[in-house]
Amino acid sequence: MTYTLRSPLVRHSASQGAGSPDVWGVYEPDTGSIQYICADPVTRQAALIDVVWNFDPKNYRFSTKSMDQVLDLVRAEGLTVQWVLDTHPHADHVMASAQLSARTDAPNAIGALVPDIAGIWADLYNLPGAFNPRRDFDRLFAEGETFRIGALEVQVMLSSGHTLGSVSYVCGDAAFVHDTLMQPDAGTSRSDFPGGDTASLWDSIQQILSLPPQTRLCVGHDYGTKTRKEPQWQASVAEHKAHNIHVRDGTPREDWIALRKARDATLALPDRILAALQINLRGGRLPDPEADGHHYLKLPVNRF
């Protein structure tokens, strides 16, 4: 799968014809996250997917560098933002959803099971009633639901496992599959966060790999490998089925589940998770300011 390289951090994957979107991937190096623009090449309507609100976990300060970069690219390409989408409440970066929605007047959306994720984390933070995704997102998309980006139809696919409510967005020959698959030389994503499930992630990956062979799979993260330093974030279904080091064709389900659980047992929590989820479950909003005008986060101790 080839890209047009605009810079080391931005790649354009061109439309392949009728029904096929233009896709730009914008790499965020601090978290290894890939932010996407998916656009109808005819109407120039676009969706922004999994855009980052930059957060410095050492100093607890924010910047809008990444969302500014994405919006600059939107303007440079003559696009109009129709949707602000997230695939799940991210554990490793803070979502830019609410701010992008305000800046573009586009509705923001996420999966329909995110209220269930909010319930898990409200308990872990001991913050009953703190999170209300039905209030903080304009749409909660259910499995099988469809919507449009310009003239292109997008289907929502429930892809649980990494979280119980993760969704993939399938638009023509492009699928935004977030924290399910990594690049073929890196394998698959973790499933050990609260509400995650390894067997469910296997089922989600198999559903993704049942898409047509030429489908461009746009993953949520890349950290390179021991032999590949340059970030990548797109490969076809056929390439994954032939070469993915964890789930290539012929991989037994039980072997992958054992591998995934063993690898997950060695992984620390992401350094932004306890801040990020408290914000992402509010649609990318900080908690309300307290009497002194400042915002505060609550961090559970000895819960993980």
pLDDT tens digits for 38-52?
Answer: 999 999 999 999 999
More confident residue, 133 or 6: 133
Q: Would you state the pLDDT for residue 138?
A: 98
pLDDT over 50 (residue 238): yes
Burial class of residue 143 (count of CB atoms within 10 Å of its CB; 0-12, 13-18, 19+)? middle
Q: Would you state the pLDDT for residue 1?
A: 45
pLDDT tens digits for 42-87?
Answer: 999 999 999 999 999 999 999 999 999 999 999 999 999 999 999 9
Q: Would you state the pLDDT for residue 205?
A: 98
More confident residue, 201 or 8: 201
- Domains of the chain, by residue range, sit at 8-274
pLDDT band at 2 (very low <50, low <70, confident <90, very high): very low
Q: Which of 6-10, 12-16, 184-188, 252-256 has the lowest mean pLDDT?
A: 6-10
pLDDT over 80 (residue 5): no
Query: 241-280 burial, b for 16+ CB within 10 Å, e for fewer?
Result: beebebbeeebeeeebeebbeeeeeeeeebebbbbbbbbb
pLDDT tens digits for 242-279?
Answer: 999 999 999 999 999 999 999 999 999 999 999 999 99
Q: Would you state the pLDDT for residue 240?
A: 98
Q: Would you state the pLDDT for residue 8?
A: 64
pLDDT mean across residues, the chain:
96
Which top CATH class is 8-274?
Answer: alpha beta
Query: Which positions ≥6 away from 15 have C-beta within 8 Å?
Result: 21, 22, 41
Q: Would you say 153 and 99 are in contact if contact means Cβ atoms under 8 Å apart?
A: no
Give the type of residue at 285: R
pLDDT band at 4 (very low <50, low <70, confident <90, very high): low
Give the type of residue at 294: H
DSSP for 111-158 reads: ETTHHHHHHHHHHHTT-TT---HHHH-SEEEPTT-EEEETTEEEEEEE
Q: Would you state the pLDDT for residue 7?
A: 62
